Chains A and B, each alone.
Chain A
Amino acid sequence: DAKTTQPNSMESNEEEPVHLPCNHSTISGTDYIHWYRQLPSQGPEYVIHGLTSNVNNRMASLAIAEDRKSSTLILHRATLRDAAVYYCILRLFLYSSASKIIFGSGTRLSIRP
């Protein structure tokens, strides 16, 4: 499986934008880029995903480099509730109900009030 590389930790101020980077230089053409986050003492939750084009949803935006070797998760206005570990994951385009997720170490995001 192609791997991702993320900074171990990041810190940001409340109500400011946050850009969380992810490198995936060995990504294949059949990989989707997924982001999940895990709040303290909870299971992970889906944030966003994309293939080639930038994506927006109510939680975040995903900016994907033209060569797809890196991506950035953007939280437009961080709140204290966004403090979590963010995981960047590659998943096969050809979805199967049995396709599993292998988590990397993720980025621990702290938000300063």
Chain B
Amino acid sequence: GAVVSQHPSWVICKSGTSVKIECRSLDFQATTMFWYRQFPKQSLMLMATSNEGSKATYEQGVEKDKFLINHASLTLSTLTVTSAHPEDSSFYICSANGLSATGEQYFGPGTRLTVT
């Protein structure tokens, strides 16, 4: 089946710095990718929809200037957490819809961000 990868798998950064997380579709092209955030013991929360060649669409309550999304190619979307703070520490997961007509979605393995 289709594979989505993320890099890095985990990252520790200092408060006030920025961190970039990459999401790649390895064997298919994804015009749309999705970014989720997950806090411990909670469900996934959709942050934004990443659109190749155009601006991302953010969910209500998500700061677009803090979570910068770039989808420069059909296989790569990046999420940059700017001026990170400890409350941004979370598990970030990306996904993309596969080629099946019924819309199976493929998820990356996640990136654990810890802001100290």
Q: How many A-B contacts if CB must be within 8 Å?
A: 69
Q: Tell me the B58-116 residues at the A interface (CB within 8 Å).
A: 91, 93, 95, 97, 100-110, 112
By secondary structure, the B interface counts as: strand
- CB closest residue in chain A, given B4: A43
Give, as a whole number of angstroms, the nearest-CB distance from B26 to chain A: 14
Do B105 and A46 touch across chains, with their CB atoms under 8 A apart? yes
Residues of B within 8 A of A (CB): 4, 6, 30-32, 34, 36, 43-46, 49, 51, 91, 93, 95, 97, 100-110, 112
A104 part of interface (Cβ distance < 8 Å): yes
Do A44 and B46 touch across chains, with their CB atoms under 8 A apart? no
By secondary structure, the A interface counts as: loop
Residue numbers in B under 8 Å from A97 (CB-CB): 30-32, 97
Partner of A101 from the list B91, B101, B105, B109 (CB cut-off 8 Å) is: B105
